Amino acid sequence: MRPTLSDVARLASVSVATASRALSNPDLVADGTRRAVREAANSCGYKINLVARSLRIQRTDTLLVLTPEIDNGFYPALLHGIEDAALDLGYTVLVGFTAKSEKHRQSYADLLSNGRVDGMLVMDGGSGVNRFTGPRPDLPTVQVLDRIYAPPVPVVRVDDGEVADLAVRHLSSLGHHRIAHIAGSAAAPHALERRNGFVAAMGRSGLPVEEHLMVSGDGGWEGGLQAMRRLLSLPQRPTAVFCADDALACAAMNVCREQGLRVPEDISLIGANDTQDGQRAYPPLTTVHVPRADIGATAANLLIGLIRGQPGAESDTVLPVELRERATCAPLRAAVAA
Amino acid sequence: MRPTLSDVARLASVSVATASRALSNPDLVADGTRRAVREAANSCGYKINLVARSLRIQRTDTLLVLTPEIDNGFYPALLHGIEDAALDLGYTVLVGFTAKSEKHRQSYADLLSNGRVDGMLVMDGGSGVNRFTGPRPDLPTVQVLDRIYAPPVPVVRVDDGEVADLAVRHLSSLGHHRIAHIAGSAAAPHALERRNGFVAAMGRSGLPVEEHLMVSGDGGWEGGLQAMRRLLSLPQRPTAVFCADDALACAAMNVCREQGLRVPEDISLIGANDTQDGQRAYPPLTTVHVPRADIGATAANLLIGLIRGQPGAESDTVLPVELRERATCAPLRAAVAA
DNA sequence: GGCCTCCCCGAAATGGTTTGCAATAATCTT
DNA sequence: AAGATTATTGCAAACCATTTCGGGGAGGCC
């Protein structure tokens, strides 16, 4: 049916070997021959068979990325960063959504051991995934943001303690001292670290951390809503709250509005990650920026380095975060402080 | 290095053929033999080589989906629907983000002609993509939402005229008659149809369509902002606006707030698509729901049917849409109507 | 007991490409 | 002009699993 390399070879009156070289390693073949082969290939509409090629060269030039559901605006930027870097180096990316079940995750990870992909980016570490399924760290793997496999497996991430620190310092510098924290999913390592970071940063700023001002925003959007409601029903409510991510902060902001509180006049809100929902909220959310595209690109480059056996693959890369002041934080007003 | 099937065969003292059958077609082999082979495979950690398998059976069980950038919360649900259906039928999905350049799109589409994927889902038809690059409609292809290839290539979509009709009828039933429309990107066929649908629906409702009440929201978020500002600066501003999608509606809502207008008391807003940003807006956005997951799943099933040569593949599948009343539309107040 | 059938298994061919090695032709060196 | 390189090309193996075809053995039936 489809023309194969040997068809081309016959048409050009050369051997398959020469035809192969003429097409994929042009320097090794004489000028006239090359042209003849090219012509023959065009005339019969020859397309290389990548599967056969992969079998022969033992490489697929494909990366697998394990990602949780991507409804939340956080992962797309990571994916784009990955894809961008991968494409530049001649790789294509296969994505596997793993939130559905451990079984699916396993079967995706199997693609790695089964030779269909050359390496794997684990991006679903924050989704409470079973850390014992799937990846075989003996095969090229790099983790993104959440470390769920032990050190020989590299990770590229941000310093979540710093994320919390930036947020707390900003709030504190505005005069706030009754600062609350809405924590992210308990299953996510980074959420835990942000929580711990919050406690540490409060300490460093000489502020008291009150146990009931730290609530769990577990349960996604609904969880965020409930967390904020709990906070606002406290006898002494906080004057500022650091939310573990922008979605949580948006939820918190909605609760404020439904209770007639103005942001930032009556209460300051700060998020983290700098996702689109925060940027487009009203007022736009102050947040700490996490360079997602960079993280993705870095991880992809690292993985490809690993695959190609390049030495010097750092096993823990941490990228810088920074505060993005927008419009949801204001200085503490004397009236409220009282 | 890695154990191959012949290693397993040797360990189990059978031939490769028997080993193959025992593993992938267990019924064809005797009980004891099957067990022996399984044991041998386990003991040496054998993993099937999917590339070799694909080469032999001339099938990759992989679907390619061409998608634009997915920052906007619209595509993820489609992707999930696709992936869900694909996984159920034993397929994995490869995603290619095509917004970057035509070159990239071409190289993704090449995967199809080069045998790396069995079929292709074209989801980027609304992104102003060059409709002449890429897909060879003679290879299994189905388009999602926007038709950019001629009829032999199936499409699964919604009726965008109906989307507009639902929106206009709802607004009209609330007493509005000065209704504006913010149109989506001119490059997207469905945005055009929604615009045309708006005109038709207004006519059917006996309402006048004023030319200056139809503005272009081209240019993404910023475009939406500008469009709404233009609308609000009109001498006779609309009492309701139908936005081509929820993101545009959210932008419009932000403009309203910045100008001190209350939604829905002062102006009614309705979106389309029913994406997360609308659901989480404050107040939650009234919209017309587009069953994205269903669309994705339907398209995937259709494509797989095509690949497997099943007859009766409908070439135009349209799924139903429905109004989702939330909180951004209110009856026209007499005062404003005056 | 002979013959037929059925089931199970093994040898070999298949898929399309790349590549190490060898051979031939052509160019260069002295 | 003869020997030494170099430039091109061809042959055949290798990559690894699947599948077809046919042989051999066991059991059933008459």
Spell out the SS3 assignment of A166-210: HHHHHHHHCCCCCEEEEECCCCCHHHHHHHHHHHHHHHHCCCCCC
Asked if residue B14 keeps its beta carbon closer than 7 A to nucleic acid strand C, the reply is: yes
Hunting for tokens 């003679």 — which residue is that? B138
Q: Are A50 and B111 in contact (CB under 8 A)?
A: yes
Covered bases, chain D (protein CB within 7 Å): 7-12, 14-21
Strands A268-270 and B214-216, bridge-based pairing? unpaired
Contact A23, A48 (CB under 8 A): yes
How many Å apart are A16 CA and C19 C1'? Answer: 12
Range with the poorest average pLDDT among A228-242, B212-226, B299-313: B299-313
Q: Could you give the CA distance from residue A150 to residue B280 in angstroms, rounded to a whole number?
A: 38
Contacts 24+ apart (CB under 8 A), B133-139: B133/B102, B133/B105, B133/B106, B133/B109, B134/B66, B134/B105, B134/B106, B134/B108, B134/B109, B135/B109, B136/B109, B136/B112, B139/B112, B139/B113
Cβ B60 to strand C below 7 Å: no
Residue B52 contacts strand D, CB under 7 A: yes
Residue A125 per-residue DSSP state: G
CB-nearest partner of A114 from B47, B108, B114: B47
- Burial per residue of B116-130, b for 16 or more beta-carbon CB atoms within 10 angstroms, e otherwise: bbbbbbbbbbbbebe
Instruction: State residue A239's pLDDT score.
Output: 93
Contact (CB<8Å) A92/B110:
no
Q: What is the pLDDT of residues B227-267, one digit of tens each?
A: 999 999 999 899 999 999 999 999 999 999 999 999 899 99
Nearest to B318 by CA among B155, B150, B121: B155
User: Which one of A55, A94, A251 has the shortest CB-CB distance to B55?
Assistant: A55
Domains, chain B, with CATH or none: 5-48 (no CATH), 61-158+291-320 (3.40.50.2300), 160-289+323-337 (3.40.50.2300)
A280 with B95: Cβ contact below 8 A: no
The interaxial angle of helices B50-57 and A50-57, nearest 10 deg, is 140
Q: Is pLDDT of B222 > 60? A: yes
Rounded, the Å distance between the CA of A41 and C1' of D8 is 20
**Are the beta carbons of B52 and A50 separated by less than 8 Å?**
no
Tens-digit pLDDT profile for residues B75-108:
888 998 999 899 889 899 888 888 777 777 888 8
Q: At what angle do helices B246-258 and B220-232 cross, to 10 degrees?
A: 50
Which of B50, B70, B93 minimises the CB distance to A114? B50
pLDDT of B337 reads 46
**Residue A52, CB, strand C, below 7 Å:** yes
pLDDT for the residue A40: 87
- pLDDT tens profile B14-63: 888 888 888 888 777 888 888 888 888 888 888 888 999 999 999 999 99
How many residue pairs from chains A and B have C-beta atoms closer than 8 A? 112
How many Å from the CA of B6 to C1' of D25?
A: 24
Provide, in whole angstroms, the distance separating residue A15's CA from nucleotide D11's C1': 9
A104: chain B residues, CB-CB within 8 Å: 87
Contacts of B52 in chain A (CB under 8 A): 55, 115
Tell me the pLDDT of chain B averaged across its residues: 88
Q: Is the pLDDT of residue B135 over 70?
A: no
Chain A closest-CA separation from residue B55 CA (Å): 6
Hey, are the CB atoms on A92 and B87 less than 8 Å from each other?
no
- What pLDDT, on the 0 to 100 scale, is given for residue A76? 87
pLDDT for residue B221 is more than 60: yes
**The two structure tokens encoding residue B112:** 């199809």
Q: Which residues on adjacent β-strands are paired with residue A142?
A: A121
Q: What are phi and psi of B59, to 5 degrees?
A: -155, 140
- Measure the CA–CA gap between B253 and B241, rounded to whole angstroms: 10
Angle at the Cα of A21 from the Cα atoms of A15 and A26, rounded to 5 degrees = 135
pLDDT in tens, chain A (338 residues): 788 888 888 888 888 889 888 888 888 888 888 888 888 888 888 888 999 999 999 999 999 998 887 777 788 889 989 998 998 898 998 888 887 777 778 888 888 888 899 999 999 887 777 666 555 667 888 999 988 887 778 999 999 999 999 999 999 999 999 999 999 988 889 999 999 999 999 999 999 888 899 999 998 899 999 999 999 999 989 999 999 999 999 999 999 999 999 989 999 999 999 999 999 998 999 999 999 999 999 999 999 999 988 765 668 899 999 999 999 998 987 545 44
B18 Cβ nearer than 7 Å to chain C strand: yes
- What band does B132 get if pLDDT is binned at 50, 70 and 90? low
Q: B10 is written with which tokens?
A: 């040797």
Decide if A113 and B47 are in contact by the 8 Å CB cutoff. yes
How far apart CA B9 and CA A300 sit, in angstroms, is 38
Nucleotide with minimal C1' distance from the CA of B25 is: D18
Q: Output the pLDDT for position B35.
A: 85
Peptide bond into B264 cis (omega under 30): yes
Nucleotide D21 C1' to residue B18 CA (A): 14
In this structure, are residues A185 and A128 in contact, taking their beta carbons and an 8 Å threshold? Answer: yes
Work out the pLDDT band at B338, boundaries 50, 70, 90. Answer: very low
Distance from the B328 Cα atom to the nearest Cα atom in chain A, whole angstroms: 15
Given this model, what pLDDT does residue B257 score? 92
Within 7 Å: CB of A5 and strand C?
Answer: yes
Helix (H) or strand (E) holding A149: none
CA B24 to chain centre: 35
β-pairing verdict for B287-289 and A119-122:
unpaired
SS (H, E, C) B186-244: CCCHHHHHHHHHHHHHHHHCCCCCCHHHEEECCCHHHHHHHHHHHHHCCCCCCCEEEEC
**For position A310, what pLDDT does the model report?**
77
Say whether pLDDT at B112 is over 90.
no
pLDDT of residue A121: 93
Contact criterion met (CB < 8 Å) for B47 and A258: no
Dihedral over Cα of A105, A110, A113, A118: its sign: negative
C-beta atoms surrounding B58 within 10 Å? 12
- Judge whether residue B259 contacts strand D, using its CB and a 7 Å cut-off: no
Cβ neighbours of A107 in B, within 8 Å: 87
For residue B248, give how far its alpha carbon lies from the nearest alpha carbon of chain A (Å). 11
CA dihedral A10, A15, A21, A27 (to 10 degrees): -100
Decide: helix, strand or coil at residue B292: helix
- Burial group, residue A258, by CB count within 10 angstroms (0-12, 13-18, 19+): middle
Residue B17: nearest nucleotide (C-alpha to C1'): C10
Q: Could A71 and B71 be called an inter-chain contact, meaning their C-beta atoms sit closer than 8 Å?
A: no
**Does A115 contact B69 at a Cβ distance shorter than 8 Å?**
no
CB A181 within 8 A of CB A197: no
